[in-house]
Amino acid sequence: MKFLDLAKVYIRSGGGGAGCVSFRREKFIEYGGPDGGDGGNGGDVWAEAVEGLNTLIDFRYQQHFFAKSGQHGMGSQMTGKSADDVVLKVPVGTEILEEDEQTVVADLTEPGQRVLLARGGNGGWGNLHFKTSTNRSPRTANPGQPGVERTIWLRLKLIADAGLVGLPNAGKSTFLAAVSNARPKIADYPFTTLHPNLGVVGIDNHEFVMADIPGLIEGASEGRGLGDQFLGHVERSRVLLHLVDGTSDDVATDARTILTELEAYSPVLMEKPRVTALNKIDAMDDEAIAERKAALEGEISGPVLLMSGVAKLGVTEVLRALWTQIEPSRQTAKDDPEAPWQP
């Protein structure tokens, strides 16, 4: 299935049905009086987060969602039928934005969460509502309220416990394939990964979800390369795994490039717990490993783990370090299930 994380849709709620002007006409009943019924309500437009979806590809083929209008009122005090609602089924983690792509209308982070996007118009009153002691035969009825028409954007941000970041060819996809059942494309050229991949990782009888996004390059926050269009998918992660290619000539500069782009995208990403690992140690000798580890630790001012996704060296230690960061936030969510998702 093709991955799509941004879609523009057009929605319109249904208009209310018009009220009816009618008078009772029955044999042997003189001056029957007004009996016009009310119009039915127009259909609402809702968005609902559902499980089992991880892409917005359905909205590539259908962009218009229009609810029907309510039925008009009828004589004999018969109210028109209200129209059915229209529900947009979206993946968990979908943000709903205004047409300007900046204003957030809602953020659906839990299965079953719903938000009203456009309320249907109320049905108009029939002339029965206008009957008074001085106006026994009103010939007035209200038209139904019009529906609401608007344009919105759907933006999907995958919900994962751990997010992989790094330069192109840092070994992110290889690592994800080594620790999960995910099968991302792996090749020896930059930007092999063109869309995010998810994998379920197991360590010490625990499981968590890991997301791999396309590699970042210098200037990504300004649109270079694939830009920062996929960074939103790790924005919700509880911890980031920063992979640095150990075979690079300057690992410190590589690490600083990624950190600079994360900070330019959002200060939230820089504040997240982060595990840094020097990858591809199977292709280096001990002296080179020690030298580049020291350079990397000096750049990030923190510990650096050693690993190789291909040879599966040090992978367990990296996963345990990630779980150490994930477990406390999961426990907090478990203790307070009513608390909102904290990315």
**What pLDDT was estimated at residue 116?**
94
Q: Tell whether the model's pLDDT for residue 122 goes beyond 90.
A: yes
280 marked among binding-site residues: yes
167 is in an annotated binding site: yes
Fold (CATH) for 1-156? Spo0b-associated Gtp-binding Protein; Chain: A, (2.70.210)
- 173 known ligand binder: yes
Look at residues 230, 331, 245 and name the one whose alpha carbon lies nearest to residue 296. 245
Q: Is 214 marked as a binding-site residue?
A: yes
Domain with CATH 2.70.210.12 in the chain: 1-156
The pLDDT of residue 335: 52
Closest by CA position to 213, among listed 199, 234, 185, 239: 234
Where in the chain are all domains bearing CATH 3.40.50.300?
A: 162-335
The reply, when asked if residue 281 is annotated as ligand binding, is yes
pLDDT at 262: 82
Give residue 167's pLDDT.
84
Is residue 194 a known part of a binding site? yes
Q: Which H/E stretch holds residue 49?
A: strand 45-50
168 is in an annotated binding site: yes
Query: Among 7-16, 102-111, 212-221, 290-299, which is the least confidently predicted range?
Result: 212-221
Q: What is the mean pLDDT of residues 136-163?
A: 89
Q: What is the mean pLDDT of residues 304-324?
A: 88
- How many Å apart are CA 78 and CA 72, to the nearest integer? 9
Range ranked top by mean pLDDT from 64-73, 218-227, 271-280, 297-306: 64-73
Q: How confident is the model at residue 189 (pLDDT cuts 50, 70, 90)?
A: very low
Q: Which of 45-49, 90-94, 132-136, 158-162 has the lowest mean pLDDT?
A: 158-162
Is residue 171 a known part of a binding site?
A: yes
In this structure, the number of other CB atoms found within 10 A of the CB of residue 25 comes to 10
**pLDDT interval class at 340 (50, 70, 90):** very low
Is 213 marked as a binding-site residue? yes
Average pLDDT (304-329) is 87
Euclidean distance between CA atoms 280 and 248, whole angstroms = 10
Question: Does 191 belong to an annotated binding site?
Answer: yes
Please report the pLDDT score of residue 90 as a whole number. Answer: 92
The answer on pLDDT for 1 being more than 50 is no
**What share of the chain in percent tops pLDDT 70?**
86
CA distance 165 to 216: 8
The confidence score (pLDDT) of residue 97 equals: 92
Closest CA to 73 of 121, 31, 44, 41: 41
Confidence of residue 206 (pLDDT cuts 50, 70, 90): confident
Does residue 195 have a known ligand-binding role?
Answer: yes
**Is there a binding annotation on residue 166?**
yes
Q: Which pLDDT band, with edges at 50, 70 and 90, does 42 fall under?
A: very high
Residue 112 has pLDDT above 70, yes or no: yes
Least confident of 76-90, 211-225, 255-269, 295-309: 211-225
pLDDT at position 341, please?
44
Quick one: pLDDT at residue 146? 94
Residue type, 291: E
What CATH architecture does domain 162-335 belong to? 3-Layer(aba) Sandwich (3.40)
Beta strand 162-165 with 114-118 is: unpaired
Q: Answer yes or no: is 172 a known binding residue.
A: yes
82 labeled binding residue: no
225 in a labelled binding site: no
Looking at every residue in the chain, the average pLDDT score rounds to: 83
In terms of Cβ atoms closer than 10 Å to its own Cβ (0-12, 13-18, 19+), residue 154 is buried
Distance CA 78, CA 123 (A): 12
Mean pLDDT of 141-154: 93
160 is in an annotated binding site: no
pLDDT one-digit tens code per residue, 57-73: 889 889 999 999 999 99
Higher pLDDT, 334 or 21: 21
Identify whether the C-beta of residue 43 lies closer than 8 Å to the C-beta of residue 120: yes
**Beta-carbon contacts of residue 115 (< 8 Å; ≥ 6 apart):** 46, 47, 96, 105, 106, 108
264's tokens? 């330019």
Q: Tell me the CB-side half-sphere exposure of residue 108, using CA atoms within 13 A.
A: 26
- CA atoms of 229 and 234, how far apart (whole Å): 11
Whether residue 170 is annotated as binding a ligand: the answer is yes
Annotated binding-site residue? 55:
no
Is 108 annotated to bind a ligand? Reply is: no
- The secondary element (H helix, E strand) that includes residue 262 is helix 251-265
Is 243 marked as a binding-site residue?
A: no
Determine if residue 313 is labeled as part of a ligand binding site.
no
Q: What is the Cα–Cα distance from 313 to 308, expressed in whole angstroms?
A: 5
What confidence category does residue 332 fall into, taking pLDDT thresholds of 50, 70 and 90?
low
Instruction: Sort residue 225 into left (φ over 0), alpha (ψ -120 to 50) or beta.
Output: left
Q: 40: annotated binding-site residue? A: no
- Residue 226 confidence (pLDDT) above 80: no
Q: Show the DSSP H helices in 151-239 as ranges.
A: 172-179, 232-235
Average pLDDT, integer, range 265-270 = 79
**Predicted pLDDT at 148:** 94
310 labelled ligand-binding = yes
